[in-house]
Amino acid sequence: MYQYTLIRSRRKTAAIHITKDAAVEVRAPLRMPKADIDRFVASKEEWIRASLEKVTANVAQRSAFALGYGSQVTLFGKERAIVAGQNRRVGYDDVCVLVPPDLSPAEIKRAVIRLYRSAAKDELTERTQRMALVMGVAPTGIKITGAKTRWGSCSSKNSINFSWRLVMADDEIIDYVIVHELAHIKELNHSPRFWAVVEGTLPDYKSRRSRLKLLQKKLAAEDWEE
């Protein structure tokens, strides 16, 4: 049987979680007997094995992830080559991302992330304000964060947050995330009424959501930790 970390809480059923570091966590009710937990884990060994293989492969890819001059990075859904510029500025055009010359791989990654953050602040703010007018809602604020597991969020006070990683997506996917979060201003849940609001603005939202999941899988194998 696989070794696992046991986390007890006031939940009703047991569940298994594979961490991004390829560790097995079991989340179980406070009073569930250890023997029952072990039997539960044993019954899920095939699923655990397959899941660990996938995560381990991602861990290996993430460890090998490095950016250098000539590497391709994605910005607004388009692959662009990293090119050494003539000065210390960071910028981009239709074919490349410009970073200062003579940087180490770690420094290049930090420079690209700075560019992503700047592009996210400008583009996502403008697109959100424009889409809010279309949807007839008024967010109280628009912020760019370093969120790793959520593309966006909407607070109970109607403040919208987006991860800077969203600028790797193409325009249609970006608009889906923006509409999704703005829809929460009308429906702070994921009820059928919420999805009706999303569909009223983007009839093809399901296709866009599927493409967003593909991007998420791609980034899971890349190390964009700051």
Task: Tell me the C-alpha distance between 176 and 185, whole Å.
Answer: 15
- What backbone torsions phi and psi does residue 107 show, to the nearest 5 degrees? -70, -35
Name the average pLDDT for the chain: 95
* pLDDT over 90 (residue 179): yes
Residues 115 and 31 in one domain: no
What H or E segment, with its residue span, contains residue 24?
A: strand 24-29
pLDDT level of residue 61 (50, 70, 90 thresholds): confident
- What backbone torsions phi and psi does residue 213 show, to the nearest 5 degrees? -65, -35
Residues 122 and 210 in one domain: yes
- The answer to whether position 83 is within a domain reads no
pLDDT level of residue 7 (50, 70, 90 thresholds): very high
Residues 57 and 138 in one domain: no
Residue 144 pairs in a beta bridge with 162
Task: Tell me the C-alpha distance between 167 and 224, whole Å.
Answer: 13
38-56 pLDDT tens trace: 999 999 999 999 999 988 9
C-alpha pair distances (Å), 128 with each of 136, 141, 163: 12, 10, 13
Residues 60 and 115 in one domain: no
Q: Which domain holds residue 53?
A: 5-64
SS3 assignment for 44-110: CHHHHHHHHHHHHHHHHHHHHCCCCCCCEEEECCEEEEEEECCCCCCEECCCEEEECCCCCHHHHHH
pLDDT level of residue 136 (50, 70, 90 thresholds): very high
Residues 43 and 119 in one domain: no
Residues 116 and 210 in one domain: yes
- What pTM did the predictor assign? 0.82
- The answer to whether position 82 is within a domain reads no
pLDDT level of residue 9 (50, 70, 90 thresholds): very high
* Overall number of domains in the chain: 2
- The answer to whether position 93 is within a domain reads no
- The answer to whether position 51 is within a domain reads yes
Regarding beta strands 96-99 and 78-84, do their DSSP bridges make them parallel or antiparallel, or are they unpaired? parallel
204-213 pLDDT tens trace: 999 999 999 9
Q: Both ends of the chain: CA-CA distance in Å?
A: 36
* pLDDT over 90 (residue 177): yes
- The answer to whether position 69 is within a domain reads no
- The answer to whether position 43 is within a domain reads yes
H helix runs in the chain, sequence order: 34-43, 45-64, 105-135, 171-186, 192-201, 205-220
The pLDDT, as a whole number, for residue 10 is 94
The domain boundary, picked from 64, 79, 94, lies at 64
Say which CATH number the domain at 133 has. 3.30.2010.10
pLDDT level of residue 191 (50, 70, 90 thresholds): very high
Residues 210 and 145 in one domain: yes
Residues 114 and 185 in one domain: yes
Residues 125 and 38 in one domain: no
Residues 130 and 202 in one domain: yes
Share of the chain above pLDDT 90, in %: 87
- The answer to whether position 72 is within a domain reads no
Residues 50 and 117 in one domain: no
- The answer to whether position 76 is within a domain reads no
101-125 pLDDT tens trace: 999 999 999 999 999 999 999 999 9
pLDDT level of residue 58 (50, 70, 90 thresholds): confident
Give mean pLDDT, residues 75-81: 97
Residues 151 and 205 in one domain: yes
- What backbone torsions phi and psi does residue 209 show, to the nearest 5 degrees? -65, -40
* pLDDT over 90 (residue 26): yes
- The alpha-carbon radius of gyration of the chain (Å, integer) is 21
